[in-house]
Structure 1
């Protein structure tokens, strides 16, 4: 299941509702850990990532794996892939504001790599787009936390703005 929200409290409630004890959670855009603390209320494995300078000090106080890196880079994806090849929940909050193109691309590559059961995205631009759609033709629906339409197909070559679009990193 893929969930989308803009309000940070809704986002955290969605995460809390979906996480189970024993889950592996990858959190992209953890900043200083306020959502991480909600995630850690359960007995989970949490891998949290952020490239902001404020993140490192605060995240070092929490019981999780923190990586201070840019989630758009192939090296970052590869580093996490060496830690785990699958996650139960993928949480994405890259500032929560606009830039839906970046957020969608990050979702696209991370979810196609880790095949999460659930993905939760916080982004105003994607919510605005979703809420503005008047009509959808075609019955495309994914029941998992990634899109069925690219499940095993790899990444189309025309989407190469970042240096990370690969079908699957090597272990």
Structure 2
């Protein structure tokens, strides 16, 4: 399932609806951790990998990750493959990909980041907070109906995985969930 929202309260309500206690959540754009705290509370047996490159995030998020055993913070730019690579070395799978980049701005960047990260991590659920993407989806008219059963774009398969990370597969199985390719053929 892929959910696109804009309002921060709706975003957090969707988190409450989909998160389970043992989930692994990758949160892109955690900023100072207001949503991270909510996610952490909702996945007490799971883990949260929170990523942000804003200077305001570093001290607050490092403190939060010391306070909470299930929160790990990466100060990094989510547009860089090195950041994605680092997350891939930390987790075995991703249940929920939470993307909150720029709120209403930069829908093109938000979509590119979502596409690459979700193609690589194959989350079960993705939640994207961006008004530009929501405007586009809600104003679209089509005679066709497509539904994603997962949190990544099944029609794209592995097309979004950066070449370096495809090579990474040779020495780490962490990028690919067991059965991800089988689900793609369903």
- Calculate the TM-score normalised by the size of structure 1: 0.89
Deviations 1:72-131 (A, max 9, x none): 001001000101142000000012122111000001010010100000000010011111
Unaligned runs of 5+ in 2: 173-186
Matched, 1:35 2:35: yes
Cross-structure match for 1:160: none
Deviations 1:126-160 (A, max 9, x none): 01111111x213332211000110123x23xxxxx
| Greater percentage in helix | 2
Contact 1:49/1:66 (8 A) holds in 2: yes
What is the alpha-carbon root mean square deviation over aligned residues?
1.5
The CA distance in 2 between the partners of 1:169 and 1:28, in whole Å, is: 23
Q: Which 4+ stretches in 1 moved above 4 angstroms?
A: none
- Please list, as runs of the form range in 1=range in 2, the aligned pairs for 1:78-157 lying within 5 A after superposition: 78-133=85-140, 135-152=141-158, 154-155=159-160
Number of aligned pairs? 161
- Calculate the TM-score normalised by the size of structure 2: 0.82
Deviations 1:40-85 (A, max 9, x none): 1121200000000010111122221100000000100100010114
Unaligned runs of 5+ in 1: 156-163
Which of 48, 60, 66 aligns to 1:46? It is 48
Shift of 1:165: 3.2
